[in-house]
Amino acid sequence: MSDQSANSQAIEGAPHSGVPDNLPAAESDLYQPPQSAIANANVANYLDLRHEALADIEAYWDARAREVIDWFEPYEKVLDASGAPFFKWFVGGKTNIAYNALDRHVKMWRKNKLALIWEAEDGERRTYSYYQLWQEVNKFANVLKSMGVQKGDTVTIYMGRIPELAIAMLAVTKIGAVHSVVYGGFSEQALASRIEDAQSKLLITCDGAWLRGKTVNLKDIADEAVKRSPIVHTVIVCQRTMQEVQMTQARDYWWHELMALPIASPVCPSEPMDAEDPLFILYTSGTTGRPKGVLHTCGGYQVYTATTLKYVFDLKEDDCWWCAADPGWITGHSYIVYAPLILGATGFMYEGAPDYPYPNRYWKLVEEYSITILYTAPTAIRGLMRFGDAWAERHDLSSLRLLGSVGEPINPEAWRWYHRVIGQERCPIMDTWWQTETGGCMITPTPVIPLKPGSATLPFTGIDAAVVREDGSTCEPNEDGYLVIKRPWPGMARTVWGDPDRYVEQYWSEFAKQGWYFTGDSARRDADGYFWIIGRMDDVIKVSGYRLGTAEIESALVSHPDVAESACIGIPDELRGNVIHAFCMLNAGVTGSPDLADTLKLHVRHEVGPIAVPAELSFVDSLPKTRSGKIMRRLLKAQVQGLPIGDVSTLAE
């Protein structure tokens, strides 16, 4: 492909919604893709491909499904929209994600290629070839089977960022069970309610996890969670920190002991799964109530994540790919564990914090492992930027060819720093907008299009995204509106685990008439058709890129005996994107004090986890509510930020 085909080429034919006819031409704040990024890019001509995909999405995804994965049995139909919004993809097809991630590579020359390189926080290194990873996964899959795990069962995983986490996930999916990974930063109650909702009888955890040279007692937290949700009858404990833990007879088993048993044979067939069988549940925060289990299924998720990684991040055989997310969140599921392995890539995983022991840790890792593509979050970038350029300048970052950002809007200042200091003005930045529910990147650059700092640019090929008003009409350029997806895509969530009504209500009711998926985000498009994501329109707060629901933090506060009622809001923060401000109404006879505020923060830390701890906590006599009793967080937010409070006609008093 040539330079011109990527740029400013008018495309013939009728424009589809969401498709600009041209890519923007030179203007002041536009970063044109370098020749090196365009040459041999997996996506040759973005605009052509995009028009082609939207002209016939079934033909487009059919081609991708054949290209990126193997099927045990072919599908009869690409898309079945008859039960919309419960769409079905690749109907009748049989496949297995662990087979595509491992077995098929082991059957060819990739057998001895490195699948995973891991570095511990203390510098310990481990590597796994495809063959070695395959054997570990098979062994653990056989262990799980011997523990009675069957196809369709749910298994909860609560571990640190170690290779065994990926091994556990792949072993679960290999035998057709369904994993629910709970981020290792969550605490007792968060873990307990997720176990309960998923009805997992088996829990996989670690003795502890390393974080900034200290240990987090995962097993203690797991024990407490199991006490609260006694449905768990087996706990497998992986040794990581070697700390003292309590093992309960006939319930708790050491990972390494089980893996040494004859039952842990290194060969295990991959269960043929229907394309629409459940693959995994991932709990995420929504508008109200308890976290919901977003369900992804076996066929479409694989096709979508592998396709996006191949085209957005241009993954090639000789890349060393580093997605620096946590496997406990969707970014890690899709782009640390599954998609890189499906594509037969070498992936790198790091256990610890970006600035531990020094702020050069990431850059040192890039140099030492010759990382070619780095995908991280704005919070990490801002956090490292704060320490100045010198930490990065000490390292040879010339292996890098592409950079990525995910999880929250990246401010142009951080974008430019990332581009100049880390990418050395050579590496395009893929600012990818997507969600747990979308499975993979949705609004995102590809390496061949011009970039604007702070804009996630354009929808991925085959994705029909738009910014609309409440009545569904399309917003004018630069007008804020609702971000919607107008047509289905293979990586879409299929339902909320055990609660299909909630799925419909949460995502498909805002624009029910039109049949569009509502993302929960607001956005605007500029005159070039580029998307600028503004943020959540609901009660979700993104703290350091982590997705939290106000409801979970509020119910943790209310579970304290001194608190009668509580409301939490997100307040913009330079470093973390947002921080939490909690308002608490105390029970009669209790007086607020700085000590009580600290106690309550500690309580949230215990119940939900350190990321959910409010930065500010105020005591109030009452909370603003609508006449129907709904807390008006918007008012609290306006008050804290000193903004106009707007329409208060629904306020009760």
Closer CB to ligand WTA, residue 105 or residue 292? 292
Q: How many chain residues interact with ligand WTA (CB under 6 A)?
A: 23
Site residues for ligand WTA, 263-282, by CB under 6 A, read none
Task: Mark the segment that binds ligand WTA (CB under 6 A) among 270-278, 328-336, 379-387, 505-513.
Answer: 328-336
Task: Provide the mask over 66-105, with x wherever binding to ligand WTA is found by CB under 6 A and - wherever it is not.
Answer: ----------------------------------------
State how far the Cα of 535 lies from the Cα of 205, in Å rounded to an integer: 34
536 binds ligand WTA (CB under 6 A): yes
Task: Mark the segment that binds ligand WTA (CB under 6 A) among 107-115, 190-198, 391-399, 514-522.
Answer: 514-522
In sequence order, the 6+-apart residues with CB closer than 8 A to the CB of 525 are: 467, 475, 477, 478, 531, 532
State how far the Cα of 633 lies from the Cα of 568, in Å rounded to an integer: 7
The CB-of-141 to ligand WTA minimum distance in angstroms stands at 28
Instruction: State which residue has the least CB distance to ligand WTA.
Output: 436
Closer CB to ligand WTA, residue 54 or residue 330? 330
Closer CB to ligand WTA, residue 348 or residue 434? 434
Site residues for ligand WTA, 451-490, by CB under 6 A, read 456
Site residues for ligand WTA, 114-153, by CB under 6 A, read none
Closer CB to ligand WTA, residue 216 or residue 330? 330
In sequence order, the 6+-apart residues with CB closer than 8 A to the CB of 544 are: 377, 379, 576, 577, 611
Length of the chain in residues, anyone? 653
The CB-of-36 to ligand WTA minimum distance in angstroms stands at 24
State how far the Cα of 389 lies from the Cα of 602, in Å rounded to an integer: 35
Among 293, 409, 447, 529, binds ligand WTA (CB under 6 A): 409
The CB-of-457 to ligand WTA minimum distance in angstroms stands at 10
Closer CB to ligand WTA, residue 154 or residue 457? 457
Which amino acid is present at 15? P
333 binds ligand WTA (CB under 6 A): no
In sequence order, the 6+-apart residues with CB closer than 8 A to the CB of 559 are: 189, 603, 607
Among 373, 533, 556, 582, binds ligand WTA (CB under 6 A): 533
Closer CB to ligand WTA, residue 140 or residue 532? 532
Among 408, 510, 552, 607, binds ligand WTA (CB under 6 A): 408
Closer CB to ligand WTA, residue 46 or residue 140? 46
Q: What is the DSSP string of 391-452?
A: HHHTS--TT--EEEEESSPPPHHHHHHIIIIISTTTS-EEEEB--GGGSS--B---TTS-B-
523 binds ligand WTA (CB under 6 A): no
In sequence order, the 6+-apart residues with CB closer than 8 A to the CB of 592 are: 584, 586, 619
Task: Mark the segment that binds ligand WTA (CB under 6 A) among 56-64, 89-97, 327-335, 578-586.
Answer: 327-335
Task: Provide the mask over 427-456, with x wherever binding to ligand WTA is found by CB under 6 A and - wherever it is not.
Answer: ----xxxxxx-------------------x
Nearest to 307 by CA among 338, 331, 333, 281: 338
Which amino acid is present at 1? M
Nearest to 618 by CA among 557, 572, 528: 557
Distances (CA, A) of 196 to 155, 226, 497: 11, 9, 12
327 binds ligand WTA (CB under 6 A): no
Q: Which residues of 132-167 are buried (b: 16+ CB within 10 A; e: fewer)?
A: bbbbbbbbbbbbbbebebeeebbbbbbbbbbbbbbb
The CB-of-242 to ligand WTA minimum distance in angstroms stands at 32
Gyration radius of the chain's alpha carbons: 24
Task: Mark the segment that binds ligand WTA (CB under 6 A) among 9-17, 533-541, 557-565, 592-600.
Answer: 533-541
Closer CB to ligand WTA, residue 408 or residue 464? 408
DSSP three-state, residue 572: strand
331 binds ligand WTA (CB under 6 A): yes
Closer CB to ligand WTA, residue 174 or residue 542? 542
Beta bridge partners of 484: 466, 518
Site residues for ligand WTA, 547-606, by CB under 6 A, read 547
CB atoms < 10 A from the CB of 349, how many? 24
- What is the enclosing helix (H) or strand (E) of 181? strand 178-181
Chain residues binding ligand WTA by CB under 6 A are: 284, 329-331, 406-409, 431-436, 456, 519-521, 533, 535-536, 542, 547
